[in-house]
Amino acid sequence: MHATLKPLVYFLFLIGLSFHTHAQPTEQAVKVVVAPDHDDWSYKSGEKINFRITVLRNGNPIKNVTVKYEAGPEKMEPVAKDSIILKNGTHSVEGLSLKKPGFVRCIVTAFVDGKMYRGLATAGIDPLKIEPTVENPGDFVQFWETAKSEAAKIPMETKMTLLPERCTETVDVFHVSFQNYRIGSRMYGILCVPKKTGKYPAMLKVPGAGVRAYNGDVTLAQKGVITFEIGIHGIPVTMDPPVYTDLGSGALNQYYTFNLDNRDRYYYKRVYLGCVRANDFIFSLPQFDGNLAVTGGSQGGALSIITAALDPRVKFLASYYPALSDFTGYLHGRAGGWPHLLDRNNSKFHNTAGKLETIKYYDVVNFARIIKVPGYYSWGFNDETCPPTSMYAVYNVIHAPRELYLALETGHWTYPEQREKVDQWILKMFGK
């Protein structure tokens, strides 16, 4: 490839990666539509739930189509399942219920012209009454205050490199790194700063799970907000894509399990403290006006809550479908949060006294309990990665001002309108 084309191709790759992270599912010719019979998808404990199934092609029901369905509490074994022929392209699964707060999901697979199509819907049963299962250790706050004090002693030794190919007429873009938690351990990110002389608020953008490069948020910076998008793995975030693929499949594969049996060595300790250190860096910028917020989705949704809880300098947060929430739900007969450390596939590895003790100090629920700043939260009932049961376990313990924007049909993705709603709230909070 010609050398002058590499920056452009890499930039286009990053745009595609960023879009893919929050992209809607690909449209298909056949649609399996599943919906509860309440418009708001919400029910009371013990109330009967009926799911309507429709298989469409060109907007019309397909007659005599074969479907399989299974229904029951999300992530648990189904309580109802069958294989049937939809003579008129529609069917109802009736009479399901749940006697306690939670979620019931109906998953449908249709077979059309030798191809398989899938759809699902999830009904919420008193979701605002869901209580967390994870224990709250008595020394939780002390543990993290001590960790922050120790981390604060490490010199930052900031390094900033201008990325001319990413700069615009109004925004400067930098690759940044600084020491974090231990001498020699660094965190990296992309800083976008408005060029116009003045003071600006700042948004820390924390990442979803995985190992990847980052492009930074030039669009928000063009609206007068400093943005700092960080990676969590202590590696540069401007390398060629195959490097991250190799690390994600190799040395960093399942990083979220590393040292889980020791609360002082668990992988996320450096990550959580690194988010606070990223705020230290933002506060060192001469262009910063002191108004700081944090946002992210999935793992980033979790880190948004955690960062706001750990750092009183954060003024507000916006969190999409937070992961790392109520891990222990599976030990109580219901769904737990990503990365599902204690589900039926992983429990045999992680259901040990040492790991359960560590989990208490890293579960988002216990950070949510100490949140003191306004937050905007958004998710859908059909999320199979971050089950809504686990997310409501977090939301329901927050005592700070909170707002929840539900996009019921969404899974682990967002509608453009959903992100616009959150972005509008963020800009309003910034006074933009």
Q: Is 412 a catalytic residue?
A: yes
Q: Are 266 and 260 in contact (CB under 8 A)?
A: yes
Burial of 306 (0-12, 13-18, 19+ CB in 10 A): buried
Active-site residue, selected from the candidate residues 298, 319, 325, 390: 298
What is d(CA 108, CA 104) in angstroms, rounded to the nearest whole number? 13
Number of residues that this document lists for the chain: 432
User: Which residues does 279 contact at the CB level (< 8 Å), separation at least 6?
Assistant: 204, 292, 307, 311, 313, 314
What is d(CA 90, CA 33) in angstroms, rounded to the nearest whole number? 9
DSSP string of 54-93, one letter each residue = EEEETTEEPTTEEEEEEEEETTSPPSEEEEEEETTSEEEE
Bridge-based pairing state of the strands 375-379 and 159-162 = unpaired
Q: Is 298 a catalytic residue?
A: yes
Q: Are 34 and 55 in contact (CB under 8 A)?
A: no
Active-site residue, selected from the candidate residues 91, 304, 383, 390: 383
Amino acid at 50: N
What is d(CA 413, CA 23) in angstroms, rounded to the nearest whole number? 6
Give the 3-state secondary structure of residue 302. Answer: helix
User: Which residues does 126 contact at the CB level (< 8 Å), separation at least 6?
Assistant: 42, 43, 44, 45, 100, 101
- Look-up: residue for tokens 């509860």? 36
Cα angle 182, 184, 187; round to 5: 80
Query: Which alpha helices (DSSP H) does 284-387 contain, by range?
Result: 299-310, 347-350, 353-360, 364-368
What is d(CA 395, CA 377) in angstroms, rounded to the nearest whole number? 8
Catalytic residues: 298, 383, 412
